[in-house]
Structure 1
């Protein structure tokens, strides 16, 4: 209709159940099931007809009322209205008006009201006609209005699985094709915001509503007046009467040890504005929420290992210049690290609530930090798996509807990727985490452990619906095909860490291996198409004695934090990542040169004590080295983000020294539209050779550029404030002029240097002797004045 901006909510779909309909009577199993108890030793069965309900003698008054309705309907009512009203009449007058508490029924708990229907035939016809008119008005006449109707929140909510809040209540949907009956259980009434539910208290007896089965094996029901914060679960009845409760696989929150779920309306989240950076400017900090906080940190002031606690430590990440945080899985999981998911769409209960996670995202965005979540979509948890034999069917221990005909992934039983229902469930993480929780990216764990079609479905949805977000996939073998064929934005590079470790004790002469840690390998088309973690991710830092191989934190692998070479090479490889192509990523604790390995044990968590001690040079209290490490990470991150030549520029090798392990390259960026241009020279020394002002090293950089005013050093990984030594580089030399095709420079061992080309007229080079004479003269003049 002209002038209408938003269509009214569509009517509830056929089969929906308003709160004014009496709840279905509870089935009568041998023993009343309790939430959290899965079926045991479920017998094999064959479908049987549903039991016939006992006939109820009809009230004579009801027959008279229905006859009047039919007579009235036959006069001038459409067939659709006639059928609708007859159905309503059969429900409402078959045994007289229903009143709360009558016929021995206990009054229902606070919640969906059970109304009474005492409408006359004229009232019913008028009501149905009004509903038909509203429905006709809702269905627009133009393609544009029909498209707007399809995007109406209620239309979307009623098309989805799980519990989705509508304008009149909540629509529930669950896939359980082998169930004989599905019942929605509502526990208690409306939540009190001032007094949250006591999760340790016994559950109240639920109000039960029988759900309606569709031809697709999905059961649906819409209940009025039930909304955000209400508690619910599903009750599965198998042929033969065996009954048990199940969680909602799509729940946004569930009690960790029971089947009770909570309805969450994501529209209640209040998101702060956040300007997402270009993908090339991402500098990533990887952390595990459960172990990031609490160890040796008495001033934390809240329960450690939670979203709330992590918010209090975001400044630590922001102050070092990281622009993104990569969280290990925060979906509900079994085990320790998060890679054995029990559910895919609800937050891990021990970490906090959906509101707590939303607050974490907002807090990160407020500090300019993007938030990425890690999703293990290839298998389910071995213990506490809510999806295993979900509707009771699972012959030969095949796992049931979510797992049948799938093999072992090496991590556990794989999902049934060949089923569209399973693909929709797994790919739905895109809408949950990028949409509802406003996250900025997803990491797909072990993409090689799922079907290519499954991976493509996730990346397609992200690309089409959230084009400004970031999807990185871990795949073994790695390669640019993960971007070009599987649709990811970036590839999680597995090989770099081992390559860096192979030449840490001593440069091994493999120059090509060194160069591939600086530049992109063949096939990649942009600086953001791979994520590098030369110093280790959770996989390497978490390897501990008794496992496949003992690695641990970087410095712990090479002698510990007291070993200078271990700290120097940590600076070297982080400098390589920040100066080279690809996106740099660091695992928590690496910045402070934390020793040992990472795990969930108390003595293996992130150690805040390293930051809280008083730094004393030469004393092994860890504080000095922690502060030096953080100062270096901050400098490297800032120089990367500040220079587009590093984040978006081309790569061109200008110098190769196989014997000494020295590489020089040109990183150049130019924007023809804005006229912006930048040229940097990066020098990497992976060996132990060293050159100072008494014997400098000539690095080939190509011919003299027009308008080149010289070069100045903007970064040196061996600066004294990072743990190197005074005048190890070229900062004190000021502007350095090119000598033919070379740049004569000081190069410290195990270092990365970055030089920025200056544009315009060439300023005079700084002569150290002249500067020293000036300072001496000024000092003498000051002394003379004091006398």
Structure 2
């Protein structure tokens, strides 16, 4: 039986009412929902704009009480005989809904979640914070939770409450600095943001969810409740075998792409389905083992190429849903292709809807701009001295590796993280506690990151983009290293491209730029990168960097690729390099696929395919990539002729590969070179072959040794060395 109207129930403390109306109430669960006053049980609800509302029993929908308006404030109060499970029946001017009251639910996060968040050690916040479509007490809805320890009040706003921050003010779990609320009867697809009153009561711009797992298409800044339905993975075989496919002895050849500009449909659209249909067979056909995606985490500015992300837990909406992205990864794995992601834990953009001053304080970033502002990129730097921020970043990494089955992360801008004075003048940086320039907190973060990944995601790898001489980047954490699996060899890249840009007449004066890299080639486990950074900002395309006339440009590019694939280290090539694209990369335009109408461009593509297959097929070219015993110089000081010769050794020494590079346009006939084994050496690579567009100087398939000693060997070969060409000959016996 419903309790009658009780005038005293609508008498509300005016201070509390004013705080509600102004969205300043700091403890909404002590005010709304089931409460007690001097007259007995009451229900308070804030329903501005409704034409009527009542409280009904959840069990049988009988009337428990009528919600009476408190003036025209939007606040409504009902008196009850007794508290029991109830629903709110709300009449929105003829549209009547029945729903549970968000303020009737108790605390949501479990004690362990709260403890780990408080300690800054919760590594699964992708399944704890953010928007989780779930079922609580048999009721479907969305649980929202956000870390904002210095906020006075946080509300979730969306279409479900007309973006009114007074409707769903959240409970603050003081012990963890987390705000939470369960909104019943909404589900996946709902748009939302957080409305935050920061310290001092200042109303901040509405914020996207730091742990949002889906977003609307930019320039919208709304987070989206993602579908909780698990994706149906079918990549078990790949996942079981991938550790061996990514080990230091594996033939790893990586094709780096920007998902939005590799290829587009006739209407300029691109999505994960297009890349499944077109990119995967293309990469498979060229023999690449991995695809590396430039950052696909949600980011507001497309011109950042993804390197200024705000949605560290969400694939960008530009190419489809999170399920669509999972389908792409699954399809890659089923095609035998690994997927690596560029991941950016160093900094984030200053957009007001993002992480910047999230709760009105420097929460994710440093307060001091000498530590917290990156001058090169006009971005904010994560405060890695804060445990909660470290946990947030590691949880992001785990989200991609565990939830999306990503095979590895290429960690961006590691050098900027390691040094407090990175790109700063004297007086613009803060020394560490010992007075040094090393960022000790970032070092600890990187070690922790790599340790956690090795423990939780065996077989996954991390790769550092690190451009300095910091020691042991790929060394074990237990031995003082940072714990990465691989490091980009930026020194090799810079020296090699500088050398290749020289006119062959002058290369004799720059001979050491090719040989010097072998001094340190085995100090780390290296990836040789010809990445997107080398074909933008006026640097020109790879073919555009090559000197000489049309023929020489293509011959030089083929020689560059031949030398790279024969050199110790894993390989990385940015899209477009394999077709000798003439223009620099432009993120708003697809590759110039029309280049393949020309034989020379097709020849370069054919060469890249053959290099990948050769690299995978020849044990000597990959099994000892990270071992000094797998490499041996034969000719290293032939400056006048700009010739290099070296051996790559397989572990047993049965089938070494001889590599000779002639970096001038002058062919060399009857060129003698010493070799370690007597017998026939088969020519397995000639970048000057006519099938690649070359002049076809070669050795008719191979050569037999002669018993004359040279370069410390008892046998020699007499060979024709093609102009601007690279030869590889395998010992056959």
> Under a length normalisation based on structure 1, what TM-score does the superposition of the two structures give?
0.69
Are positions 1:407 and 2:406 aligned together?
no
| SS of residue matched to 2:373 | coil
1:731 maps to which of 700, 715, 719: 700
Rounded Cα–Cα distance in structure 2 between residues aligned with 1:159 and 1:691: 64
Instruction: Give the aligned partner of residue 639 of structure 1.
Output: 614
2:668 corresponds in structure 1 to: 691
1:332 correspondence with 2:298: yes
Local SS of the residue matching 2:380? coil
CA distance in 1, matches of 2:401, 2:165: 36
Report if the CA contact (8 A) 2:295-2:306 is conserved: yes
1:60 positional shift? 5.8
Structure 2 unmatched ranges of 5 or more: 1-15, 43-77, 113-121, 418-441, 476-480, 625-629, 709-713
Secondary structure, aligned partner of 1:670: coil
Q: CA deviation at 1:28?
A: 4.6
Residue 596 (1) aligns with residue 576 (2)? no
Q: Distance in 2 between matches of 1:754 and 1:26?
A: 82
User: For residues 216 and 644 of structure 1, what CA distance do their matches in structure 2 show?
Assistant: 54
Structure with more of its chain in strand, by fraction: 2
- CA contact 2:409–2:463 (8 Å) conserved in 1: yes
- Over the aligned positions, Cα root-mean-square deviation in angstroms equals 3.9
Distance 1:221 1:92, change over 3 A: farther
The answer to whether 1:321 aligns with 2:287 is yes
1:461 aligns with 2:461: no
State the secondary structure of the residue aligned to 2:340: strand
After the TM superposition, which of the residue ranges 455-464 and 259-268 deviates more from structure 2? 259-268
Residues matched between the structures, number: 603
Deviation for aligned residue 1:434: 1.0
8 A Cα contact 2:599 2:693, kept in partner: no
Any idea what the Cα deviations from partners look like across 1:182-221, whole Å, max 9, x if unmatched? 33446449xxxxxxxxxxxx98999736334231212234
Q: CA deviation at 1:252?
A: 1.1
2:720 counterpart of 1:743: no
Cα distance, 1:417–1:733 mapped onto 2, change above 3 Å: closer
SS at match of 1:252: coil
Aligned partner of 1:577 among 557, 564, 577: 564
Instruction: Give the equivalent residue in structure 1 for 2:435.
Output: none
Please give the residue correspondences for 1:14-33 in structure 2 after superposition, counting only pairs within 5 Å.
Answer: 28=20
Q: Aligned-pair distance for 1:720?
A: 0.7
* 1-structure distance, mates of 2:158, 2:173: 19
Determine if the alignment matches structure 1 residue 606 to structure 2 residue 567.
Answer: no
Please give the residue correspondences for 1:274-313 in structure 2 after superposition, counting only pairs within 5 Å.
274=238, 275-276=241-242, 277-279=245-247, 280-294=250-264, 300=265, 303-313=268-278
**In 2, Cα distance between equivalents of 1:211 and 1:263:** 22
Question: Structure 1 residue 719: deviation in Å?
Answer: 0.7
Give the direction of change, closer, same or farther, for the CA distance of 1:555–1:25 in structure 2 (3 Å limit): farther
Name the stretch that deviates more: 645-654 or 349-358.
349-358
**Per-residue CA distance 1:604-636 (angstroms, 9 max, x = gap):** x4112223x3xxxxxxxxx22221111010111
Q: CA deviation at 1:714?
A: 0.7
Mapped to 2, the partners of 1:747 and 1:25 lie a distance apart of 89
For residues 380 and 116 of structure 1, what CA distance do their matches in structure 2 show?
A: 35
Whole-angstrom CA distance in 2 between matches of 1:115 and 1:351? 34
> Aligned pair 1:368/2:336, yes or no?
yes
Deviates more, 1:448-457 or 1:241-250: 241-250
Matched, 1:521 2:520: yes
1:439 Cα deviation (Å)? 0.9
Alpha-carbon separation, structure 1, partners of 2:365 and 2:81: 43
State the match for 1:252 in structure 2.
213
Show the counterpart of 1:219: 179
Q: Which has the higher mean CA deviation after the structures are superposed, 633-642 or 406-415? A: 406-415
Q: Give the CA deviation at 1:747.
A: 0.6
Change (3 A) 1:403 1:110: farther
Q: Which residue of 2 aligns with 1:756?
A: 730
Deviation at 1:162, TM superposition (A): 2.1
Change over 3 Å in CA distance of 1:558–1:216 after alignment to 2:
same
1:443 aligned to 406, 410, 413, which one?
A: 410
> In the alignment, what sits opposite 1:553?
541
Partner of 1:472: 463
Q: Structure 1 659/93 Cα, relative in aligned 2: closer, same or farther at 3 Å? A: farther
